[in-house]
Amino acid sequence: MNLHIILLSLIFLSKTQAQDGNQFPGGFRFGVATASYQVEGAWNEDGKGENIWDYLTHNNPGAIDDGFLTGKGENIWDYLTHNNPGAIDDGSNGDIACDSYHKTAEDVELLKDLDVDFYRFSISWSRILPSGHANYINREGVNYYNELIDTLIANDIRPLITMFHWDLPQPLQEIGGWPNPILADLFVDYAKVLFDEFGDRVLEWITFNEPYQICHQGYSEATKAPLYAQDGIGGYLCGHTLLLAHAKTYQLYNESYRETQQGRVGITVNAMWGEPASESEDDATAAENYIQFTFGWFFNPIYASEGDYPSVMRSQIDANSQAEGFQRSRLPSFTQEEIELLKGSSDFLGLNHYSSYECARLTTDETTPSFINDMGVSYTQPDTWEAGASFWLKVYPDGIRKLLNWIKTRYGNPEVMITENGFSYAGNEQDLQDCRRVNYYNVYLEAILAAIVEDECNVTAYTAWSFMDNYEWLRGYTQRFGLYYVDFTDDDRPRTPKMSSRVYSNIISTRAINWTYVPEGFTACDWSTE
């Protein structure tokens, strides 16, 4: 077995504690997460390709020509941020972001101070393959990630790598992006480069982060790059390609790398719990349909015994497509061979969860293709739930426990790694005593612990989003999720620990939630007002 693998295994055996009634189980792991475009900066340095977010925020089409003259490619976030800065709340971009590209040693030191078991970060496809294609590998990009991976391991922190976190190379978007089925094979080419370059030290891979957001928001409702509004069509085409890209990557790992590298490959889907808005049967059905259309869309083909898309998606989209006059369903079909390829193609279920919705039956006479009409659900959040700065984020910790139990029941209790969970403040809030975020982590972790101990849900890891304040996509720098405050007005991008970072570190070291813990330098929170 590879020496790095042995060392990593020993690291985590040494950091676990025995379980008691209020502690997370021995072997349960804690980490933090970021994404490449949101923290790295260095958007055009050392041969990196341009992505759609760079392009959109810069509003400078000439940057494409200049970039390619220096060997730099472009991805979809480059394109989006350069050419449509009005789409970003504060008109900002991720050119520098947290400048993590130049701060590897400093950031790893902060991670070590948190005492995390792992660091989840994503690789910029454009930094490795500037054109998106594997005909040319940018060695400077490889060197950057090698340095980060090696520094993490030297500090007893396991790297958990996401291959794709929304920053598609712009040249691939210009041939259609994810709705083009050829991208499944191009993604496998990219994944092969990652396995070859980093797989001797990386034991855990996530192929895609949040395919629902990539596909529905990017290609149907135009709320993520590349801002395409092909509702009821583009998202389904994207999702079909993406699922096949994942399954083919899993197959590649099994056939060519698993025996020597001994790692694991999974995929992460974001899920908001669907709570029935009333006790009616219609609303109970609506809540179930909401979960199937947003979560089951991507996990049913992998984890359900029958495979394929959820039956409710198949039947409702097929029927609507026929009623709308389409010659075939707007939801593509897998071949039987593809269904079998997808089934079981994940070593763990990656779960991002932030909030929940109340769901009710939606009836409409609309005959225009629409994801919402296909789903047949309206969903809202009660005003009584505490709100974060993000319009979609309200505090309902029961939702994550119910969701974990739904996964256990529906999919046979697979291993779940919670790969994101966190709370947003407004970008102009500089109070380091972030009691509302501390409260959020405490109540959600309590719900997760109850799901593990009382409900016997197979949850093995928890990841706080995010390690530090960063570029929040279309929201720019107007929302902050970080455990560390980043001063984006300072060229050096200094990081300052918030109260939540100290509380989270204490949870990690004790493997328990302590509501009375007050970190040095902070004052006790008044929980009666939180």
173 membership: H or E segment, kind and range: helix 170-173
Q: Are 442 and 516 in contact (CB under 8 A)?
A: no
In a domain, 388, yes or no: yes
In a domain, 254, yes or no: yes
Mean of pLDDT values over 361-390: 94
**For residue range 25-57, what is the model confidence (pLDDT) as tens digits?**
989 999 999 999 999 999 999 999 988 788 777
Give the range among 76-85, 397-406, 513-522 with minimum mean pLDDT: 76-85
**For residue range 189-202, what is the model confidence (pLDDT) as tens digits?**
999 999 999 999 99
Please tell me the distance from the alpha carbon of residue 122 to that of residue 166, in angstroms, as a whole number.
Answer: 10
Q: Among residues 77, 185, 68, 75, which one has the least CA distance to residue 127?
A: 75
Q: Among residues 163, 210, 160, which one has the least CA distance to residue 190?
A: 163
Q: Are 281 and 361 in contact (CB under 8 A)?
A: no
Indicate if the pLDDT at residue 217 is higher than 80.
Answer: yes
* Alpha carbon 430 to chain centroid, angstroms: 25
pLDDT of 6 reads 41
In a domain, 529, yes or no: no
Q: Among residues 238, 196, 201, 198, which one has the least CA distance to residue 217?
A: 238
Indicate if the pLDDT at residue 529 is higher than 60.
Answer: yes
Copy the structure tokens of residue 495: 């990081």
Structural domain count, the chain: 1
Indicate if the pLDDT at residue 9 is higher than 50.
Answer: no
Q: Which ranges in 257-346 belong to alpha helices (H)?
A: 258-261, 281-291, 297-303, 311-323, 336-342
Greater confidence (530 vs 203) lies with 203
Mean of pLDDT values over 377-389: 96
Please tell me the distance from the alpha carbon of residue 79 to that of residue 93, in angstroms, as a whole number.
Answer: 11
Please tell me the distance from the alpha carbon of residue 327 to that of residue 472, in angstroms, as a whole number.
Answer: 40
Tell me which residues are annotated as active site.
Answer: 210, 420
Q: Among residues 219, 151, 170, which one has the least CA distance to residue 72?
A: 170
Bridge partner list, 157: none
Mean of pLDDT values over 73-79: 60
In a domain, 188, yes or no: yes
**For residue range 106-162, what is the model confidence (pLDDT) as tens digits?**
999 999 999 999 999 999 999 999 999 999 999 999 999 999 999 999 999 999 999
Burial zone of 314 (CB within 10 Å; 0-12 exposed, 13-18 middle, 19+ buried): middle
Q: Are 519 and 499 in contact (CB under 8 A)?
A: yes
Phi and psi angles of residue 66, each rounded to the nearest 5 degrees, phi first: -60, -40
Relative to beta strand 495-497, strand 484-486 is: antiparallel
Indicate if the pLDDT at residue 508 is higher than 90.
Answer: yes
Greater confidence (16 vs 423) lies with 423
Range of the domain at 52: 3-510
Integer CA distances (angstroms), 453 to 21, 53, 407, in order: 8, 42, 16
pLDDT of 12 reads 38
Indicate if the pLDDT at residue 10 is higher than 50.
Answer: no
Phi and psi angles of residue 473, each rounded to the nearest 5 degrees, phi first: 50, -125
Copy the structure tokens of residue 54: 């760079």
Please tell me the distance from the alpha carbon of residue 28 to that of residue 17, in angstroms, as a whole number.
Answer: 9
Q: Would you tell me how many other CB atoms lie within 10 Å of the CB of residue 65?
A: 8
In a domain, 380, yes or no: yes
Please tell me the distance from the alpha carbon of residue 412 to that of residue 429, in angstroms, as a whole number.
Answer: 43
Greater confidence (105 vs 11) lies with 105
pLDDT of 394 reads 98
In a domain, 493, yes or no: yes
The half-sphere exposure of 495 on its side-chain side, counting CA atoms within 13 A, is 25
13 membership: H or E segment, kind and range: helix 3-14
Residue 21's pLDDT band (cuts 50, 70, 90): low
Relative to beta strand 356-361, strand 273-276 is: parallel
- Write down the mean pLDDT value for the chain: 91
Please tell me the distance from the alpha carbon of residue 496 to that of residue 493, in angstroms, as a whole number.
Answer: 10
**For residue range 258-303, what is the model confidence (pLDDT) as tens digits?**
999 999 999 999 999 999 999 999 999 999 999 999 999 999 999 9
Greater confidence (453 vs 93) lies with 453
Q: 272-307 b/e with 16+ CB inside 10 Å = b? A: bbbbbbeeeeebbbbbbbbbbbbbbbbbbbbbbeeb
Indicate if the pLDDT at residue 185 is higher than 80.
Answer: yes
Give residues with Cβ within 8 angstroms of 72, minimum separation 6: 44, 47, 48, 49, 50, 130
In a domain, 522, yes or no: no
Copy the structure tokens of residue 177: 């992006």
In a domain, 291, yes or no: yes
Indicate if the pLDDT at residue 61 is higher than 50.
Answer: no
Relative to beta strand 204-209, strand 158-164 is: parallel
pLDDT of 66 reads 31
Please tell me the distance from the alpha carbon of residue 112 to that of residue 156, in angstroms, as a whole number.
Answer: 8
pLDDT of 67 reads 30
Give residues with Cβ within 8 angstroms of 439, minimum separation 6: 395, 525, 527, 530
Bridge partner list, 159: 119
Indicate which CATH number applies to the domain containing 131: 3.20.20.80
Relative to beta strand 459-465, strand 29-33 is: parallel
What is the pTM (predicted TM-score) of this model? Answer: 0.92
pLDDT of 1 reads 45
Q: Are 218 and 225 in contact (CB under 8 A)?
A: yes
DSSP category for residue 101: G
Mean of pLDDT values over 356-367: 91
Phi and psi angles of residue 463, each rounded to the nearest 5 degrees, phi first: -125, 120
